[in-house]
Amino acid sequence: MTKTQATLAALGTLLTFSIPAAAQDTPPAPLTATDQQFLTQAAQGSISDYANGAAAVNRAQSPAVRQLGVWFMEDHDRLNISLFALAGVHGLNLPLMATPKDQSALMSLTAKQGAAFDRAWLQQAIQTNKQDVSDAQKEVDATTDPEVKPLVRAYLVTETSHLIAAQSIMGMMK
C-alpha cells in the first residue's frame, strides 16, 4: 500500500468514527446508486490522475508537462481528501487503487522517454480528462444530494482546467 493509499484509508476510518454522536442520531440521506457509482469512479480516476502526475514530474522532458504533473498531484490530493471524506460520512468504502486498465496505461506511459513520453502523457491526459468532464457533467445534472453536488462541481472544474491546460501544452508542442 502506498503512502497516499494508507493516508486515504486512515482518513476514511477516522471520519467514519469521529462523527459526533448527534450527527450519528440522524444519518445522512443514503446516496443514490448513481452517486455511489460516480464517487467510486471519481476516486479511482483521481488516484490514477495523481499517479500520472507523479510520472510526469519524474519523467517529462518538458518543464510545462512536469509543472502540469505537479498541478495534477496537488489538485487530486485535495479531491481525494474530499471524496473520501464525503464517502466516509455516508459509509461508502471507496477503492484505494486505480483500475487495472489505468494501472496498465501508466505502465505503458512510463516505458516511454523524452518527448515521446511527453506527447503520450498529454494525449492520455486529454483523453481521460474529456471523459471525466463528460461524466462529471452528467452527475452534476443527475444528483440532487446537497453534499454531493458541490463536490461534483469542484471535480468538474478541476478536470476541465486540467483538460484545457493539457490541450494548450499539446498545441504548443506541435
**Domains in the chain, CATH or no CATH each:** 3-13+32-173 (1.20.1260.10)
CA 18 to centroid of chain Cα atoms = 25
3-state SS assignment for residue 158: helix
Distances (CA, A) of 119 to 16, 59, 113, 123, 149: 42, 12, 10, 6, 34
Can you read off the three cell numbers belonging to residue 134? 463528460
Distances (CA, A) of 135 to 35, 70, 129, 173: 11, 24, 10, 28
Please choose, from the candidates 165, 133, 138, 158, the residue with its C-alpha nearest in 3D space to the C-alpha of residue 149: 138
pTM: 0.83
Provide the residue-wise pLDDT of the chain in tens; the chain has 174 residues.
565 555 555 445 444 444 444 445 667 788 999 999 999 999 999 999 999 999 999 999 999 999 999 999 999 999 999 999 999 999 999 999 999 999 999 999 999 999 999 999 999 999 999 999 999 999 999 999 999 999 999 999 999 999 999 999 999 987
13 CB contacts (<8 Å, ≥6 apart)?
88
- Alpha helices in the chain, H assignment, sequence order: 3-17, 21-25, 33-59, 63-89, 100-110, 114-142, 148-173
